[in-house]
Structure 1
Amino acid sequence: MACKRAKHGSCSVFGCTNEHRSIFLVPSSELRKKQWVNCIYSGNAPTQLPKVLYVCAKHFTDDRFLNLGQYRAGLAERLKIKSGSVPTLLGSATNLGQASTSSACIQLPLSRDVACQTDHLETHTVGTQLSLKTLRRHFISEGVQAKVSCKDFGVGTSNADPLCLSSTPLKRPPKRPRLDLDEQLEDSSLVEASKGQDSTYDPAYSITASLDSTLQSEHSSTPTHNSKKYIVYENCIMELFNVCPVCTRACDVRTQRLGTFLSVKQRCLHCTFRRHWNSQPILGSVPSGNLHLSAAVYLSGASFIQIEKVFKAMKLQLFRYETFRRHARAFIEPAVLHHWKVTQNVNLQWLRQAEKVIVGGDMRADSPGYSAKYGSYTMMDLHTNTVVDIQLVQSNEVGGSCHMEKEGLARSLALLESRGVNLDCIVTDRHPQVQKFLRERNITHYYDVWHMAKGISKKLEAISKQKDCEKLQKWMKSINNHIYWTAAGSTSEPERVAKWTAILNHVRDVHTHEDPLYPKCEHAIRKTTDKSKWLQADTLAFNKLEKLLTNKRTLKDVAKLSPHHQTSSWEAFHAIILRFAPKNVVFPFIGMLCRLYLAAMHYNENANRPQAETEEGVPLFKISFPKARKGECSVKPQKTQPTFGYVADMMDLIFEKVFVNPTPYTDALLAIPVPEDLSAQYEKPDKEEVIASFVSRFKREAV
């Protein structure tokens, strides 16, 4: 006679006082046949027994149930017991989530029923162990879905968590939204079912997602983009889905990929278990990993083409370049523009409160010569060594690349004036158009010493290679140092000229001068045994040197050498730009502008970092061999490692604000005037005609 499920009654086992939620009717004839009545009643079995006894589920072993695995996983509301099963466990309180290992639980004599000659099903885990809560969160069932509070099924003696089996239907939890993907793999596009997509939407990088955003970070306060990521191999992932965690049989597994995103659908053909697993959270309609990777590549100044080569070498899955560009236009570039404007406003507010501001400006072209397309003019606060403004000028805006520097300076000065910045002076190179522009604006203008020293050194080196002028080789370094000393040690323009012309007496071993502003050399007079290094007044070398150092333009420029600050910081900043915008790569106007902003933010954060020290506090230095010194070494202080706080700030901005509501950020980006392409002034030819007219130079007909 088969055991049946009872709707009421209490357990007949002696000493079982727990709250029973799952009661089975066991024929008393079966118990007498197997001599288990005395065990159940502890030797005090009555002479007359009812036809059936009420026995709760805790007194049966796990192999007596038909759907124990599904019940534990929350896929079944009620337990089902095998036909002919009899209770074999005797004990006090137990818990479904605990094993029957307590000493208070007594195993009764076991015997196999003729109708059920099956051993206990042994199960094992493959790759991982999943808890009940994990299973509930990652799959839904086509059958009854019930919220079960018990963790596992078994017999134990814990009094803290009594047996939790019930015949009363429990309240069903709400089904979570499912992510529906098209049945297309690799780089196939997925259908977008959500509404209200903006103009930047493209099916190549978005997927349908009605997934509630709270499910993405329900158990973690860490934002999605700040969580750790790992490289996981495909065969390792498949180990987690090949076997059903309920019945431990093989499952039907299907995968779908979109860039770095992987979706796995697992379905057991033997039970009702189903699971849908995503490798990344879904933000709106975009996999977060795809967007995060695009932002990381862009904000770090890396090249997507180079990153793509690395991914292909490792067989890492990656999205296409078109997807990267859409991410950049829709989210990354608006965030870069917004973050730069915020930091720039803070710097300009500080400059507005300063009494006198000394700034420096210089332009960098994207290619040498007169063929440059872009010219970026940098305005830097020389007191704090901070980039306060960058202006990007395209050559067709001003009629040629030779006019870009003046236009960039004019735009930067207009911005400073509009913000109420009071300029004391400006330091630039000796560009003729810049000189005239600042002279007409009555702005105090100084020249950078490094640029002038570089120009004179090149001319002096050319003279020293001529016949009878070889002695000038010994004076090149001294003359170069004299330029810096003249600029730093003078208080007026006539004094700079007097100190500068004194070098002509010094090279002849004459240390007293006719100019009253500088009557004699300040160094100690020392007698030298090597008289061959001194120049003579009537020699060709001295005449050429005098002509170079005392011509009208040189004396005029020396008078305006900067006594305050120099523009060596510009050159360091231009080296930073090469990391974000190499000259051998062509960028669109907005892309070039955003990369310049990134370079400025990186420079402002790391330019003034301190010198590195050892654990004992000893300053660290590094030795280098600059190419300009031709084999001579130089020592420089070794600074601490650079930081990238601006990247973390923009990541937060992209994921927490721009992605949520991109409209105000994209509107600010679209408000930037973008000049037309250089080729726009020419008529575009027909492609077929150009192809037809192509002739290889090696296959032309003989004339």
Structure 2
Amino acid sequence: MAENNLLISSATVFTGGTYSDMADRAQLLNLHIPRQTQFYAIQSIYLIPVILYAYREQHDKLTEHLTQERASGRKIELCGDARCDSPGFSSKYSTYSFQDDATKEIVHFELVEVTEASSSVAMEAMGFQRGLNHLLYMGVDIGVMTTDRSPSIRKIMRDTCTDIHHEFDPWHKSVKKKLVTASNKKDNKDLQPWVKSIINHLYWSCESCKGDQEECVHWWKSLLHHICGVHRWEENGVEHTCHHPPLTEVQQRRRKWIKADSPPFQALKAIVMDRNLLQDLKQMSCFKHTVLCDDFKSLRAKMSCGHTVTPMSLTIWCLCAG
């Protein structure tokens, strides 16, 4: 085989390119490259086995490192998230990824096909359960598992993994959605300038509590005092203050505070004091994130949607996942 045939085929696959893109560029430059049938033959015979070997070798090293951590007495903190090959309820494939929160390395991921689950929605929970069982079987001592607020995953953690602390990602899109919906109503227009600040306050409450669940809930509810322009208040005989620097008279006067008896305040109070949200906040106090999986999810999305890579590249990805 000519060396260039192997190099061009390798460069195309390893960079996530497609044969058609490479052929178009080669034609413009008057370069001769392998034909499409030879290109896919080289992938099947040489490149897929090499990728599979490299993946398994790296995966074994990661697993060995995690098991050694158990021997040293350190519990592993993982975050997990799923990504499907298409949005909505028509997904065919879903991958659930597990990332070490300390090293930011993807330690494991599971590929699930829709035919294995009862529906496309159920693929996420199946991938999570399968991946978690694999890591536990390999001897990984998991101390904290951070996921989204999927009801199915909650049930799995609550019923079968009571010795693992379950955290939620602080990114709470439903809160923002409720705030935007409420502020768009005619009587609640005064709430609109506060939406971004309220979301920032949610993050700050989770971060500043340093793992104290009650403190996280307390600072989140303190929003109801601050938004009315009250920065010092008393609860159960204990005086509390806002954590921001003291406001000048000019700042206090210019800020558009919301009155406690107004419709926007009542709408906000219903969102802030929502029972389910307050319960979820207790599982956000460690301020863990699943967003760290996003770069890996972007790679998986490219390989699963078929827009930027060839079907053969999807085959390689499936082999690596299996």
Q: Name the aligned partner's letter for residue 503 of structure 1.
A: L
Give the whole-Å Cα distance in 2 for the aligned partners of 1:537 and 1:474.
Answer: 17
Larger radius of gyration: 1
Conserved 8 A contact 1:392-1:593: no
1:592 and 2:314 correspond: yes
TM-score normalised over the length of structure 2:
0.88
Specify which of 230, 233, 236 is matched with residue 510 of structure 1.
230
CA deviation string 1:118-153 (max 9, x = no partner): xxxxxxxxxxxxxxxxxxxxxxxxxxxxxxxxxxxx
Q: Which residue of 2 aligns with 1:366?
A: 85
1:389 and 2:108 correspond: yes
Conserved 8 A contact 1:348-1:419: yes
CA deviation string 1:199-226 (max 9, x = no partner): xxxxxxxxxxxxxxxxxxxxxxxxxxxx
Q: Which residue of 2 aligns with 1:334?
A: 49
Unpaired segments ≥5 residues, structure 1: 1-285, 599-668, 673-703
Give the whole-Å Cα distance in 1 for the aligned partners of 2:237 and 2:293.
Answer: 37
Conserved 8 A contact 1:577-1:596: no
1:550 and 2:269 correspond: no
Give the whole-Å Cα distance in 1 for the aligned partners of 2:111 and 2:86.
Answer: 14
Give the whole-Å Cα distance in 2 for the aligned partners of 1:597 and 1:383.
Answer: 27
Q: Which residue of 2 aligns with 1:493?
A: 213
Give the whole-Å Cα distance in 1 for the aligned partners of 2:185 and 2:111.
Answer: 42
User: SS of 1:525's equivalent?
Assistant: coil
User: SS of 1:519's equivalent?
Assistant: strand
Give the whole-Å Cα distance in 1 for the aligned partners of 2:82 and 2:155.
Answer: 16
Conserved 8 A contact 2:17-2:308: no
Q: Name the aligned partner's letter for residue 243 of structure 2.
A: E
Conserved 8 A contact 2:167-2:288: no
Give the whole-Å Cα distance in 1 for the aligned partners of 2:262 and 2:91.
Answer: 44
Distance change (3 Å), C-alpha of 1:353 and 1:302: same
**Structure with higher RCO (Cα < 8 A, 6+ apart):** 2
User: SS of 1:534's equivalent?
Assistant: coil
Give the whole-Å Cα distance in 2 for the aligned partners of 1:462 and 1:288.
Answer: 61
Quote the offset at 1:529 in angstroms: 4.3
Give the whole-Å Cα distance in 1 for the aligned partners of 2:306 and 2:194.
Answer: 36
Q: What is the aligned length? A: 312
Q: Name the aligned partner's letter for residue 434 of structure 1.
A: I
Give the whole-Å Cα distance in 1 for the aligned partners of 2:306 and 2:225.
Answer: 45
Task: Summarize the alignment of residues 231-630 of structure 1 with structure 2, pairs less than 5 Å apart.
Answer: 286-354=1-69, 355-441=74-160, 442=162, 443-450=164-171, 452=172, 454-490=173-209, 491-511=211-231, 512-514=233-235, 519-526=240-247, 527=249, 528-530=251-253, 533-578=256-301, 580-582=303-305, 584=307, 591-592=313-314, 594-595=316-317
Distance change (3 Å), C-alpha of 1:384 and 1:390: same
Unpaired segments ≥5 residues, structure 2: none
Q: Name the aligned partner's letter for residue 77 of structure 2.
A: I
Quote the offset at 1:364 in angstroms: 0.8
CA deviation string 1:468-514 (max 9, x = no partner): 22222221222111111111122332221111111111101123242
Structure with the largest fraction of helix: 2
User: SS of 1:426's equivalent?
Assistant: strand
Q: Percent identity of the aligned residues?
A: 29
Q: Name the aligned partner's letter for residue 314 of structure 1.
A: L
Give the whole-Å Cα distance in 1 for the aligned partners of 2:264 and 2:34.
Answer: 65
Quote the offset at 1:596 in angstroms: 7.4
Conserved 8 A contact 2:8-2:33: no
Q: Name the aligned partner's letter for residue 310 of structure 1.
A: R
Quote the offset at 1:370 in angstroms: 0.7
CA deviation string 1:354-374 (max 9, x = no partner): 211100000011111111111
Quote the offset at 1:556 in angstroms: 1.5
Conserved 8 A contact 1:352-1:421: yes
Give the whole-Å Cα distance in 1 for the aligned partners of 2:176 and 2:60.
Answer: 40
Quote the offset at 1:296 in angstroms: 1.4
Conserved 8 A contact 2:170-2:288: no
CA deviation string 1:595-628 (max 9, x = no partner): 4798xxxxxxxxxxxxxxxxxxxxxxxxxxxxxx
Distance change (3 Å), C-alpha of 1:314 and 1:368: same
Give the whole-Å Cα distance in 1 for the aligned partners of 2:285 and 2:217.
Answer: 13
Quote the offset at 1:328 in angstroms: 1.8
User: SS of 2:121's equivalent?
Assistant: helix
Conserved 8 A contact 1:580-1:596: no
TM-score normalised over the length of structure 1:
0.42
Name the Cα RMSD after superposition: 2.5
CA deviation string 1:44-102 (max 9, x = no partner): xxxxxxxxxxxxxxxxxxxxxxxxxxxxxxxxxxxxxxxxxxxxxxxxxxxxxxxxxxx
